[in-house]
Structure 1
Amino acid sequence: MNQKSDLSTRDQILQMMKTSGPLSAKEITDRLQITEMAVRRHLGTMERDGLIESKMVRQTLGRPTAVYGLTEFAENLFPKNYHTLTLDLLGELAEETGEESVNRLFERRRDKLKHQYEADMKDKSFADKVRRLAEIQNDNGYMTELESHGEDEFILKEHNCPISQIAGRYNHACNCELNLFESLLDADVERTECLAQNDRRCLYIIRKHK
């Protein structure tokens, strides 16, 4: 029998749970044809890493049994082509009513985010506003890094862009993000690199108004 690495065994377990739903350790053992001890070791590691969660299920006979299923975090590891559907829908809208309609959607999203986050910025110093913005973007999947050049100038780097495919087609999305930053921070914001334009990251230079 071929030896399987920890990674390949983990992947097999994830695939099994994705296609079959929650499984017990015994069910996984029977399918993988490895020892139950090895399966439980993998399950323990995966549960600790936040990939799976367990719950007790009452059986018709005997004691309740633990079954393991995917967490939301693990579900997000599987490919999802949301951007393809979004681009198709935006394309239909642009064809039917003009690209200006698409631009207005991005502007409405910008205004909604501003309303959502401006309370977080209230009564904060400029530096704290910038730090809070970096936290917000990081929580939203942008993988941010913040550099301080004194209390009046910062460099915000975004190493990931969840909407890069959409922004690559509709540049107004990037313009709206820049406007949002300027509005929330009440600052001068300059973008010098952009993932949607095939740069390695998005990079913003943020300066306090003189």
Structure 2
Amino acid sequence: MISEELDLSTREKIMLMLKTSGELSIKAITEELAITGMAVRRHLSALERDELIASSTVRLPMGRPAAVYRLTEKADDFFPKKYHTVALELLSELEGDSSEIQVNHLFDLRQASLEKRYKAELHGKQLEDKVAALTALQHRNGYMATWRKHGDHEYELTEYNCPIYQVARTYNHACTCELQLFEALLEAEVTRTECLASAGQKCVYRIRAAAP
């Protein structure tokens, strides 16, 4: 049985059951959760609508064919991931085996790779259009980014989330590389006024055209 100590909704319990069992029928889910079949069907219908589960029909040794349910690829994002833990362990091993310089070099290589990948999308644009395009790129990458014009010749780019927050909090050179990346892509003067990895509520960048 699923532990009652876990404060999970019925739908979360169903997803956890499917994660551990692979495929289950309505009968199996009903018996495990000790609720009505009608209630189970209602939750399964909602999960199917959200594309978190899918069903197929299987033949049983006795009786009519029955529907079984399984998780979809989309459901994978529902379950916790500890990627940052693995990343930090690997970086710590590299730092111990070589030095912090080598760790920083990895972030430098990442910066160069991102600059090469994104430069074509910003090339030839005016600064305001570059800020908008960069914001869109960051938003697609999970940074929850927005921008606004700040005065006549200044812009503000804000990131409300940092996908590499745990890593950046330990290795602040990651933040330095992001600042340098923005400067290179925007070809502008960029100043960070707030940083999530340094106890801020968000990352805020002030952007202005570079001096001639």
The reply to whether TM is greater than 0.5 is: yes
Counterpart-to-counterpart distance in 1, 2:146 and 2:164: 18
Aligned-pair CA distance for 1:63: 4.3
Deviation string, structure 1 residues 19-42 (Cα, Å, up to 9, x no partner): 212333333222222222222221
Aligned-pair CA distance for 1:18: 1.9
Aligned-pair CA distance for 1:79: 2.4
Aligned-pair CA distance for 1:45: 2.0
Contact 1:192 1:205 in 2 (8 A): yes
Contact 1:83 1:163 in 2 (8 A): yes
Root-mean-square deviation over aligned CA pairs = 2.2
Counterpart-to-counterpart distance in 2, 1:23 and 1:155: 50
**Percent sequence identity over aligned pairs:** 47
Counterpart-to-counterpart distance in 1, 2:45 and 2:197: 39
Aligned-pair CA distance for 1:108: 0.6
Contact 2:155 2:207 in 1 (8 A): yes
Contact 1:106 1:173 in 2 (8 A): yes
**Partner residue of 2:69?**
67
Counterpart-to-counterpart distance in 2, 1:132 and 1:189: 16
Letter in 2 for 1:59: R
Letter in 2 for 1:165: Q
Gaps spanning 5+ residues in structure 1: where? Answer: 1-6
Counterpart-to-counterpart distance in 2, 1:184 and 1:117: 8
**Partner residue of 1:119?**
120
Aligned-pair CA distance for 1:101: 0.6
SS in 2 for 1:131: helix
Gaps spanning 5+ residues in structure 2: where? Answer: 1-7
**Partner residue of 2:90?**
89
**Partner residue of 1:147?**
148
Point out 4+ residue stretches in structure 1 off by more than 4 angstroms: 60-64
Letter in 2 for 1:183: A
Letter in 2 for 1:122: H
Contact 1:160 1:201 in 2 (8 A): yes
Counterpart-to-counterpart distance in 2, 1:194 and 1:43: 41
Aligned-pair CA distance for 1:67: 2.0
**Partner residue of 1:204?**
205
Letter in 1 for 2:21: S
Counterpart-to-counterpart distance in 1, 2:167 and 2:115: 20
Contact 2:23 2:68 in 1 (8 A): no
- Do residues 102 (structure 1) and 99 (structure 2) align? no
Contact 2:56 2:68 in 1 (8 A): yes
SS in 2 for 1:41: helix
Distance 1:56 1:201, change over 3 A: same
Deviation string, structure 1 residues 29-69 (Cα, Å, up to 9, x no partner): 2222222222222122223334x131424435654735231
Contact 1:14 1:70 in 2 (8 A): no
Distance 1:22 1:208, change over 3 A: farther
Distance 1:57 1:184, change over 3 A: farther
Deviation string, structure 1 residues 102-122 (Cα, Å, up to 9, x no partner): 111001111111111112112
Contact 2:95 2:103 in 1 (8 A): yes
SS in 1 for 2:162: coil
Counterpart-to-counterpart distance in 1, 2:151 and 2:143: 24
